[in-house]
Every structure is written in structure tokens, then in C-alpha cells.
Amino acid sequence: MISIIDKYISKTFILFFIAGLLVFVTIFLAVDFMGAFARYEVSSDVLVKYYGYSIPTIVYQMIPVGCLVATVFTLSTFNKSNELIAMFSVGLSLARVSAPMLSLIALISVFSFWLGDHLLPEFTKKKNYVYYVEIKKKPGLYSTVKTNKIWYRSENTLFNIKTLNSEKKKAYGITLYFFDDDWNLTQLMKAKEVDLKGSLWNLYNGQVTLFSEKLDFPVTKAFDEKTISMNEEVADLENSSVSGDVMTLGQLKKFIKKNKDAGLDTLRYEVDYHSKYGFAFAAFVMSLIGIPFSVKRQRSGGTFVNVGICMGLAFLYWVLFSSSLTLGKHGLIPPLLAAWGPNVLCVGFAGYLLVRLKQ
């Protein structure tokens, strides 16, 4: 049964959570918008559209920080006003006081997971379209995923890639369609593997099919190695490469299975898949770490100290999480460990702090 104290704790937490989320999202948008406005020569309407599609992603990324802020400020406020001591005096433990907040954080985490899996892929696609087509003016770099392939366009050339490994500058399972100025198919080229060396691409183990009105039927010839010149620099191509952000978990799972069955490298996508689950617990983990820092003692400095604690803990978690994902995408640690390792470490650290707090 929910008591009056539980309602009071929950109400305080929700107010701090909403306030923290609004502040961090607003600051992020304001700073990034001003930078983009100075960096790109586009109208403000285009930037407004771009950041409109970016808001769900920013909210998704800031939810764990909002939960951490709400946890630290709620407990710190109770601690400073001696309300925490009053709660302890009536027999409530720290775990019991934290229970309403952790329950709310669990619900927020479920919403965050749903947001990341169902809404963000569509908003990310629209954001990418505005970025590459209307801001960068490079529509060929706007990639889409259809029939489990990544599609691009470069002038009169369309090509799809089954898997793109931007770190190793390699592509696997590529098919290129070359057209003339009237958009008649003139050449079809396939290759199992490609080395992306700037504008020069080295294709291996493939075949070329030529289409011409002068030929009675298409002519196909196999090759072991072939070099072609493309207009897209690999730096641009790898920046536009499709990640798990534009696919739901179901789509990403099918994408990984089909490419793995074809013998292609899916390591990057496996890390993206597991990270969606791992990040869903970020709010809970970060808030758990914040609890012992909030009740250790009454501190001088008030709000500024609390903000400093929140920023420090958030930075610690993001460094661990992003570094772990990078190691996973480079194959140095398994994808599952890359996504869950930081959570396990942080929970262990929080447990250690809570044990010391009791002592």
C-alpha cells in the first residue's frame, strides 16, 4: 500500500526529474543549434526541422541524467532539511526511502526502452534525410535499409551494401548499378568484398554484366580483383553508414541473422543490438550510484555541489559505456560484455559505496 511518505517522495522526485530533463535538453539544443547555425549555410527553417526530429533522441539520451539528477536532488534536499533523519526515526531504512524513486525509475526505463525501439528509428531516418539532403546537399549519402541491404546513390550510380565496416574501411556484399544520362542500365557489378580507399575502391571476387543496345544479350564476366573510381570519399560514406539507430530490435535481429548466414561481418550491429538493452538500464544504474553520494552527510555548497556530483557521475558512466562499446565494435571484447560490462561495474561500485555507508 502506498503511504503518504511514498507519495511525498514520488512527487518530489518527479518534479526534479521533469525540471532536470527540461534543463539538460534545452541546454543541449541551444548550444548545438547555435553551433549548427554558424557552421551550415542553411535557413533556420531547415535547422528547426532537423532539431525537431532530433528532440526524441536527445530526450532518450538525457533520461538517465534526468533520473540521476532527480535522485541526487531529492535525497540531498531531504538530507539537508533533516527530513531524511525523521524518516529514519520512524523506522524507514535507506532502501525503503529509495524504493518509490527506484520504482519510478524502473517505469521510466521501460518507457525509455519503448521510445528507443519504436519511435527513435523513424525519427532518426527523417533526421538523417534532412541532414544529408537539405543541410549537406549530398542526397547520395542518405542511406536507407530495404530488404536487409543498405542503399546509396552517387550521381548516376546506385549501389547497395549488405554490411559496411567503417572502422576497417571494408564493405561486404556490394552490388552497383550504373546508368547513363537517360537512366538506362548500362552496367551491373557485384563483389563479395571491397576495400574502401578514398574515392578508389578495390573490388574482389565479383562479376560485371554489360548492357548495350548493340548487344543481343547482356555479357557477364567474372573478375578476381577490380578497381573503380567513386565520387564518395570513405570518410563521408562511413559517417552516413547505417547503424542500429534506424532499425527496431526485430529488424536489427533479422538484419544480423541474414548477414551472418551469408558469412559477413556483423560485429558492429551485434554491439548495437545488445547496447539497446544495456542502455535501458542506464537510468537505474546511474541513480543507484547517486544514492550514497546524496545521503553521506549534509554538505555545504547546496545546489552547485549536487550539480557537480551529477555531472561527475554521468561523465563516469558515459566514459565507461562509450569506451566499452568502442572496444566491442573493434572486436576486443564480446558484444554482450561491451553492452552490459559498464552496468555490472557501476552496480558493483554502488553496492560497495552502500555497504561502506552502513558501516
Residue type, 115: L
Contact 101, 295 (CB under 8 A): no
Taking only the tens of pLDDT, the chain with its 359 residues reads 468 888 999 999 999 999 999 998 998 888 887 777 777 777 778 888 888 888 999 999 999 999 999 998 998 888 888 888 888 888 888 888 889 999 999 999 999 999 988 888 888 888 888 887 777 776 655 655 544 566 777 777 888 787 777 667 778 888 888 888 777 888 889 998 888 877 788 899 999 988 877 777 788 888 888 888 876 544 455 555 556 777 888 888 888 887 777 666 788 889 999 999 999 899 999 898 888 888 765 555 556 676 777 788 888 888 999 999 999 988 899 999 999 999 999 899 888 888 887 65
In a domain, 259, yes or no: no
pTM of the prediction?
A: 0.74
Provide the strand spans (E) within 65-218.
144-146, 149-154, 157-165, 170-179, 185-197, 200-210
The total domain count for the chain is 2
Last residue of a domain, one of 207, 241, 275: 241
**Other beta carbons within 10 Å of 227:** 10
Q: Are residues 58 and 123 both part of a single domain?
A: yes
Q: How far apart are CA 234 and CA 216, in angstroms?
A: 37
CA distance to 34, 290, 292, 307, 347, per residue, from 350 (Å): 38, 8, 8, 19, 5
What local confidence, expressed as pLDDT, does residue 231 receive?
A: 67
Q: Are residues 120 and 25 both part of a single domain?
A: yes
Residue type, 72: V
Q: How far apart are CA 304 and CA 314, in angstroms?
A: 15
Q: Are residues 40 and 86 both part of a single domain?
A: yes
DSSP at 181: T
Per the structure, the complete domain to which residue 49 belongs is given by: 4-136+266-358
Residue type, 286: M
CA dihedral 297, 303, 304, 305 (to 10 degrees): 10
Contact 339, 277 (CB under 8 A): yes
User: What's the full length of the chain, in residues?
Assistant: 359
